[in-house]
Structure 1
């Protein structure tokens, strides 16, 4: 018969609670700051938030682009306008010179002390009166009249207007004067080179456009508001 042995005896260890009660942290999941317990502890500072200025839109709406400048009038129309303006200045200069010459011819003879009668000479020589009156008429037509109305006599007959290429507006007096002076230089160059080509436009930032195309541009700008 087998002999039974007593069961082994093991040392007993103290029992610890399985669910210890630890202090609960804040609801965001982070525990208390261990470095904020001293006398120099500071409360957590919130992150600064950018404030939107009152009355301003964060995403401003893009303004619609303006339509492009009306196209340059074709060369034939601009050439006819130049011819009309030239004929006007030439005619006024020639008429002024003839009038001055006729005035001198119909004047009473001047009697000298010796008793000889002499025909009174013109007040201004013929060519001086012709060039002076012609240039003055050209300046008044292409600078002064264009500044007031936007066109010269020749351009008005051909239904054209002179505008600035960038802002599509009536040019000022100084810009018109520079264009008028450069026109003589350009005319002299093309006459010397025997190549009268008026296809090049946009002199000093200006453009001669048709009145019809300018009205269409103004209507398109008006629809944009």
Structure 2
């Protein structure tokens, strides 16, 4: 694990790199303003997991400005997460004890695709990492209003792929997602165990994309 400020300067393959490759290979119509959603997600992540980056007087995260309404919305969502922690002992433990925004690197991760094994340098950055338990999880903002929509989002946005990717880099057997609705502030959660259906679907997704990445970058990968 290292200083998260250096994460985006590194060259190892990340889940975001796999997403970019998928979008290049399989372009599709995007609904809604993706950049705005990503921007707001960064605000929520910072408020919850990196509060030292947040300036509540200037309404900024680092040098990125936000509106008062955006800050109010994000803080209401965080309030809902804290309220949920009163009913959820595990979430309470995560908010109190997890290491936030730490990253891991595997310089030569073995990946199997259809019986063929290859190696990639990989990386991931955790929203939450529980050092004593040796597993972590992810924080999401979502447009889902009900549990069924949240479950659908896991597949639609490949959150299963990201969780399997993180689990295999960390060699962890468990993982979790907490998502906060942008529409009604409801909190959803999903636990993942190694070899359950969600893990397997995510691993299948990343193995195919990682193989394609490996093929396209043969001359650049040691």
What range describes the TM-score normalised by the shorter chain of this pair?
A: under 0.3
TM-score by length of 1: 0.21
- Relative to its length, the structure with more strand (as a share) is 2
TM-score by length of 2: 0.21
Structure having the higher Rg: 1
